Amino acid sequence: MNGEFRRGWRPLVASILGNAGGILSITFYTQGLFAGPVSAEFGWTRSDFFLGFTIMQFCGLITAPLTGSIVDRLGPRIVGITGLIGHATMYLVLALNPGSLWAFYLSFAGLAVFAAGSLPVTWTTVVNGWFHVHRGLAIGLTMAGIGLAALLAPPLTQFFLEAAGWRVAYAGIGLSALALSLPTVLLYLRVAPEAGATADTTANPAPVQWGPTRAEAMRDYRFWTLGTALLVITLSVIGLIPNFVPLLLDTGWTPAEAAQAATLLGVAVIVGRLMVGFLVDRIWAPAVAGIFFTGPAVAMVLMASLPITPALALIAAILLGLAAGAELDLLAYLTSRYFGTRHYGAVFGGIYAFFTVGSGLAPLIYARVFDMLGTYRPMLAVAAIAIVVAVGLLLALGAYPQASRQN
């Protein structure tokens, strides 16, 4: 076994499961299943429902960068544990909603605050400390935790919905996520020792940390280029994922069939994360991004112009999953390569804000287009064009800084 993995497999496993049980994983991949039953019971529109997700993400404009700074100051362990407990607690609050839209929105705002410690910035901070030579693969494995949630959470949610209704489903998903993640995080999540503190440093020397502060990084064009590309891709690709199940239901799929398609998407997310992690350790990461994000653009053009057959929907699920698997892996990896690890948490939190804006607006935009036009097709066509623009921005990032190439 490689020295890095021999030393760091326990924190890596804890980071994978912490990510799997966190706010981004569970909330993102289950809300499409809740949209129908919750909206039907309370008489809400689809865009009314998804506005809660938008509110959560926009609150994340404050909580995500703040979490990155707190991780740098207090360390990821206490932040991650607090975030996982807060995440489960707010799902119990969602289950108790009396039918108030405002209470629903406040619950999602509470998720952004109390579950912020379970964001990927916490878990990738741990992994960056333990892995250097194989950082891309380690980040990919960590982000595969989100794919694990995308694989397990939709069928589990559908089971709860069919067996006991949406209230039990919210409570069951929140508690299941906590049971999956918290024990391993408590046992194994540890910050890497300083360089020179382990016996493996001769064979696997840890590089000297380098990198600008968040304020310094924000004066670098690459910060805004990376952030803008991430925003556009998130608006285009990630916005479709919570709406993918409703889209399939609109074409005549049963809820069980749609949940199976969502599960396939989850499998593709895992595969995408592992593939990206393997490739970026060997190939210039923006080029890898171009490959993974071109697929959804093609799928969207086909879905916008052709009847959405089961075969096309399944192909789209695979391509969307691969791209979704690539996105945050690439964000974490590119942040560490272009801006170093010295202030990684703060810089990652700043760039993550672009993802927060995009993922907050995108589901609502897709849902609003549907409410206005009765179809997702125009949005799919626009999103495909936007993805091409975003890929061009990523390719404009240029070579890694010299300090990154030396480490």
CATH number of the domain where residue 21 is located? 1.20.1250.20
Tokens of 198: 């382990």
The string of pLDDT tens digits covering residues 110-162 is 999 999 999 888 998 898 888 887 887 888 888 878 778 877 888 899 899 98
Q: How confident is the model over 312-341, as a mean pLDDT? A: 85
Is residue 204, in this structure, part of any structural domain at all? no
How wide is the angle at C-alpha 309 spanned by C-alphas 307 and 314, nearest 5°? 130
In this structure, is residue 22 part of a structural domain?
yes
Is residue 199 included in any domain, yes or no? no
In a domain, 247, yes or no: yes
SS3 helix, strand, coil % of the chain, rounded to 5?
80, 0, 20
Number of domain units in the chain? 1
Q: Domain residues for 267?
A: 3-191+215-406
Task: Name the average pLDDT for the chain.
Answer: 84
Q: What is d(CA 214, CA 69) in angstroms, rounded to the nearest whole number?
A: 9
In a domain, 209, yes or no: no
Q: Identify whether 19 is part of a domain.
A: yes
For the whole prediction, is pTM greater than 0.95?
Answer: no
The alpha carbon dihedral of 29, 33, 38, 44 has a sign of positive
- pLDDT classification of 2: cutoffs 50, 70, 90: low
pLDDT at residue 246 in the model: 79
Judging by beta carbons within 10 Å of its beta carbon (0-12, 13-18, 19+), is residue 125 exposed, middle or buried?
buried
Q: Is residue 77 included in any domain, yes or no? A: yes
Q: Look at residue 272 and tell me if it is in a domain.
A: yes
Question: Over the stretch 90-100, which tens digit does the pLDDT of each residue have?
Answer: 999 999 998 89
pLDDT given at position 184: 93
